[in-house]
């Protein structure tokens, strides 16, 4: 089962279709912090136009249907 088309549409909607996939391990005790936030004005303005709830919801749909491996990180984001 694959949701490649759905994931590509979500990335396109978020203007992230230029990004390359990568393995980004997350430590179980890991936390998000301010150092991970955008630093320059342009990046901050770009982030403002993206609905955070929509991103998390889209990831939850993918997680439940075919990608349970992203459940931990999605829980951290939620």
Average pLDDT over residues 48-71: 79
Q: Is the entire prediction scored with pTM above 0.85?
A: no
46 contacts 52 by C-beta, under 8 angstroms? no
* Res. 2 pLDDT band, cuts 50 70 90: low
76 contacts 30 by C-beta, under 8 angstroms? yes
User: How far is CA 63 from its chain centroid?
Assistant: 11
Average pLDDT over residues 39-52: 82
23 contacts 71 by C-beta, under 8 angstroms? no
Domain boundaries along the sequence of the chain: 4-17+36-77
């Amino acid at each position: 089962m694959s949701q490649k088309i759905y994931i590509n549409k979500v990335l396109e909607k978020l203007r992230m279709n230029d990004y390359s996939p990568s393995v980004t391990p997350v430590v179980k005790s890991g936390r998000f912090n301010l150092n991970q936030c955008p630093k320059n004005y342009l990046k901050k303005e770009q982030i403002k136009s993206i609905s955070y709830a929509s991103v998390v919801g889209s990831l939850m749909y993918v997680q439940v249907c075919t990608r349970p491996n992203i459940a931990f990180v999605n829980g951290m984001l939620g």
